[in-house]
Amino acid sequence: MAYAWQARHGLTAAQYQATFNSLVSQGYRLIDVSGYGVGGVDRYDAVWEQSPGPAWQARHGLSAAEHQALFNDLTRQGYRPVRVSGYEVGGQARYASIWHKTDGPPFRARHGLTAAELQAEYDALTPQGYHPVDVSGYSVGGQPRFAAIWEKSPIAGWVARHGLSPSEYQAQFNQWANEGYILLRVSGYEVGGQNFYTAIWIQGPALTWFSRHGLTDAEYQADFNAMVARGFRLVKVSGYPLRGTARHAAIWHKPSLSDAEQAFIDQTVTTFMNNHRVPGLSLALAHRGRLVLSQAFGLANTATNERVTTNHLFRIASVSKPITSVAVFRLIEAGRLNLGDRVFGPNSILGNTYGTLPANSPINQITVQHLLEHTSGWATSQDPMFTMFNLNQDELITWMLDPANNRPLTHTPGTRFEYLNFGYLVLGRVIEQVSGQTYADYVRQNVLAPSGITDMHIAGDTLAQRRPNEVVYYSQTAAWNPYAIRVSRMDAHGGWIASAKDLVKFALRVDGFATVPDILRPATLGTMITPTTAPRPDMTPANYAKGWAINALGNYWHLGDLPGTASILVRTNNQYVWAILANSRNDAQLDQMRADIDALMWTIINRITDWPAGVPG
């Protein structure tokens, strides 16, 4: 939940107290405070949040003795320090702190430490299982001093540094951010007219964050305004002096989409749905291996007003082809299949299962690679998949190969690209022949399960065969009834049902990036996305690999649609992966719908660049 919050900087002690009283009376809690002295006057930067929590107390302007007395008093009452800020005013150390009355792991807190004493505390407490949760650098009489809090609790990893010049801090910042650490705390301080930094980095949960340091008042305000506009919220702030002027360092988090960003997504999706009369839609987006967006819109069933959820299953149509392709390459990696293996005829994978072809039949030259690349030689116009629904898979293949039915190849295998659903139907039978399992079982065990997917299925044909969490499909053309076509017969080329989230999970396992382990080896992935050299009949490039469309940028994807459904699955070269599923197809403007579903998420990600780490699904 995104709680209301407020932040102020550069407040005098009186202004800080007045703001504190006002916000606390409105139900806000102080979550961060930083004191600093400029020109002999104490100033305060602070952040408040309107959220529930344990009983708390906060103090500021305390001398070292007063701070120690407060520590003794509050710890006896069951409070623990969660934030401490040391600073110098008029040559004397002062402290501001926040305390929570709550149980928790053992803690240690120190103040007034020299650099050597701080390091000694790190050295002594680390072997005991303590890690720093807060640190503040300041100077007294021109000498650096530190206040810090440690906690004895499990943590994946942490790094703490102090006494860093601005350039040294930036180098450390870059190093640890590149290694996936999160900046937990940064504190600036002045010694001898120069700024130095102490900081803590942790290996924590996935988090979208941003940090700046060395900012003047004007620069800090400008950054504040810009970050709020991008949907970030300030969580940690450090004010500190530099030769009589104020400087600021800040840490920002983005826990959720901003209201403006969500409104943009809603409007973009709603416009698409209205333009193409789509009752219900689900989408999911991952960035750098993390699911950052998963939302559902509209109705799964208009008769009952059942809302679409992110768990609803949709027919994914030809987005099934990438799944079949990955299954083929799993068999290739297992040494049980080769791209050059012939599919029909003597000494082939399927042999004479579907009838005996003449020895000189060009069909006998079709290979697994030809089927994957739509270069088998049959023309798109010869595709039988939306006819003869009375025939099962085996009967349809037998019919297609029977010379009496006049389905000779239009092209020599491997010489022309013509999109052919039938070729992937045959690949399903290849998988069955080689694996000894049904196509669906092999895919579930060797593609879906390794991808963490348990709720994908081959579709039923009729409304009565609809699964409990499956949407209803709606035709916009009387001639095309979504429940009068043999979707189950289309298994390997268009038969799967899935949620958008699960399709993204699948694509992340074959995206070629290091963020999520792939289920195919790099060389295999490279082969899978290598475009066919065969041109289209008009001699233009096919821009199709093996189960994926691909472009020169290295993006690969697949569109899909059937009567009553439309889908797309995309992987981009800048580590986005997304899926969009709809429960209707605009038959009157099909090309436009295909263009619009392709553009839909591009429109969103071109507007929103800072994705929260954990958008609820």
Please write down the HEC assignment for all residues of 164-175: ECHHHHHHHHHH
Q: How far apart are CA 324 and CA 495, in angstroms?
A: 11
Task: Place 506 in a pLDDT band, splitting at 50, 70 and 90.
Answer: very high
- Least-confidence region, from 1-10, 130-139, 227-236, 607-616: 607-616
The one-letter amino acid at 108: R
Q: Is the pLDDT of residue 379 over 90?
A: yes
Q: How far apart are CA 77 and CA 73, in angstroms?
A: 7
**What local confidence, expressed as pLDDT, does residue 206 receive?**
78
Q: Is the pLDDT of residue 607 over 60?
A: yes
**What local confidence, expressed as pLDDT, does residue 616 receive?**
47
- How much is the average pLDDT of 554-573? 98
Q: How far is CA 579 from CA 431, 497, 564, in A?
A: 25, 13, 17
**What local confidence, expressed as pLDDT, does residue 41 receive?**
95
Q: How far is CA 29 from CA 32, 81, 134, 500, in A?
A: 9, 15, 18, 39
Nearest to 130 by CA among 158, 102, 111: 158
Q: Is the pLDDT of residue 474 over 50?
A: yes
**What local confidence, expressed as pLDDT, does residue 564 receive?**
97
Task: Place 614 in a pLDDT band, splitting at 50, 70 and 90.
Answer: low
Q: Is the pLDDT of residue 274 over 80?
A: yes
Nearest to 278 by CA among 296, 262, 293, 265: 296
Tokens of 40: 């002999």
Instruction: Count Cα atoms within 13 angstroms, Cβ side, for 600.
Output: 33
- How much is the average pLDDT of 351-358? 90
- How much is the average pLDDT of 36-62? 96
Q: What is the DSSP string of 216-267?
A: -HHHHHHHHHHHHHTT-EEEEEEEEEETTEEEEEEEEE--S--HHHHHHHHH
What are 71-102's pLDDT values in tens digits?
Answer: 999 999 999 999 999 999 999 999 999 999 99
**What local confidence, expressed as pLDDT, does residue 207 receive?**
86
**What local confidence, expressed as pLDDT, does residue 229 receive?**
87
Output phi, psi for 394, to 5 deg: -60, -40
Nearest to 123 by CA among 68, 178, 162: 162
Q: How far apart are CA 388 and CA 395, in angstroms?
A: 10
Task: Place 205 in a pLDDT band, splitting at 50, 70 and 90.
Answer: confident
Edge-first strand order for the sheet with 79-89 is 56-62, 92-101, 79-89
The SS3 of residue 576 is: strand
**What local confidence, expressed as pLDDT, does residue 111 receive?**
97
For tokens 């963490």, name the residue: 452
Q: Are 444 and 458 in contact (CB under 8 A)?
A: no
Instruction: Count Cα atoms within 13 angstroms, Cβ side, for 329.
Output: 24
**What local confidence, expressed as pLDDT, does residue 286 receive?**
95
Nearest to 580 by CA among 283, 314, 277, 309: 283
What are 281-315's pLDDT values in tens digits?
Answer: 999 999 989 999 999 999 999 999 999 999 999 99
Q: Is the pLDDT of residue 1 over 60?
A: no
Q: How far apart are CA 143 and CA 122, in angstroms?
A: 20
**What local confidence, expressed as pLDDT, does residue 248 receive?**
98
Selected residue with higher pLDDT from 248 and 290? 248
Q: Is the pLDDT of residue 617 over 60?
A: no
Instruction: Count Cα atoms within 13 angstroms, Cβ side, for 86.
Output: 30
Q: Write down the H helix ranges in 343-466.
A: 368-373, 393-401, 421-435, 439-443
Q: Is 445 buried (19+), middle (13-18) or exposed (0-12) by CB count in 10 A?
A: middle
| pLDDT averaged over every residue in the chain | 96
Q: Is the pLDDT of residue 443 over 60?
A: yes
Q: How far apart are CA 556 and CA 558, in angstroms?
A: 7
**What local confidence, expressed as pLDDT, does residue 615 receive?**
53
The SS3 of residue 181 is: coil
**What local confidence, expressed as pLDDT, does residue 50 receive?**
95
- How much is the average pLDDT of 397-419? 95
DSSP state of 456: -
| Conformation bin of residue 507: beta by default, left when phi > 0, alpha when psi is -120 to 50 | alpha
What are 94-152's pLDDT values in tens digits?
Answer: 999 999 999 999 999 999 999 999 999 999 999 999 999 999 999 999 999 999 999 99
Domains of the chain with bracketed CATH: 5-253 (no CATH), 259-607 (3.40.710.10)
The span from the first CA to the last CA of the chain, in angstroms, equals 13
Q: What is the DSSP string of 2-66?
A: ---EEEEEEEEHHHHHHHHHHHHHTT-EEEEEEEEEETTEEEEEEEEE----S-EEEEEEE-HHH
Q: How far is CA 610 from CA 203, 322, 398, in A?
A: 20, 29, 53
Task: Place 512 in a pLDDT band, splitting at 50, 70 and 90.
Answer: very high
Instruction: Count Cα atoms within 13 angstroms, Cβ side, for 567.
Output: 33
Q: Output the pTM of the full model.
A: 0.86
Output phi, psi for 448, to 5 deg: -75, -50
Q: How far apart are CA 114 and CA 142, in angstroms?
A: 12
**What local confidence, expressed as pLDDT, does residue 356 receive?**
85
Tokens of 463: 């409304």
The SS3 of residue 300 is: strand
Q: What is the DSSP string of 393-425?
A: HHHHHHHHH-GGG----SS-TTS-----HHHHH
Task: Place 223 in a pLDDT band, splitting at 50, 70 and 90.
Answer: very high
Residues in CB range of 14: below 8 A, 6 or more apart:
none
Rg (CA), the chain: 31
